[in-house]
Structure 1
């Protein structure tokens, strides 16, 4: 089965994920962003998922509403993404996956407000310890 050449591709999905990231960082709902753009929240959802492509004029309006340069939406696009023969697969950096989740955005915002470097290091040590314990528990379950 061949992909629809007119359908969204990896770049469209990347742009959508950047729209979502910026919207979340600004604490805007999909409904509010849709109102600002003159579209429904369902259309915003489709843009964010990369289901629908974002046209040039709409991207320009998104940049204005989200207070970023248009280039923001393309930051981090892999070379060759969206071209035949290239696949995004598991190459998405872990940081992108993290920051695209609501919990990731909230954690990053809260962590950034902590100014004491010793406290920040302790939090990092705690998270590493919890992750190691979870990995060990998962390995133990798999072995049983």
Structure 2
């Protein structure tokens, strides 16, 4: 059975890898493993060792703490039967939207954000 922490860390790895535009193959090569192992980490099937997480954090250019941000809320919600928080990050369309959003220059991104807020209030 998958442990909720392993699933959460795996989702954070996948999210950061995807946001960087890094493939599973590229990440695997950079840390010296096969891409299938990255797949297992990302799904929570295999637990990521501390040393491997250290290597992954260096390749993905984040602090180790990144992989655990929001974990307490997620595990509590999961234990309550609500699923893992941030499941929206498993939706390819949502991830693509997020990546595109951050590719927009900051001043334009702010205007787009304000527009989205107005539209969601009107809905």
- TM-score w.r.t. the length of structure 1 is 0.68
Q: Which residue of 2 aligns with 1:100?
A: 90
User: Residues 1-144 of structure 1: matches in 2 within 5 Å?
Assistant: 8-78=2-72, 81=75, 87=79, 89-93=81-85, 96-112=86-102, 113=104, 115-116=107-108, 117-124=110-117
The total of aligned residue pairs comes to 119
Q: In the alignment, is the contact (CA less than 8 A) between 1:37 and 1:62 conserved in 2?
A: yes
Q: Which runs of 5+ in 1 are unaligned?
A: 133-144
> Which one is further off, 114-123 or 44-53?
114-123
* Structure number with larger C-alpha Rg: 1
* Greater fraction of residues in helix: 2
CA RMSD of aligned residues (A): 2.7
Give structure 2 stretches of 5+ with no counterpart.
none
Q: Deviations over 1:55-89 (max 9, x none)?
A: 1110111111111111111111126939xxx7263
Residues 30, 127 of structure 1: alpha-carbon distance in 2 compared, 3 angstrom cutoff:
farther
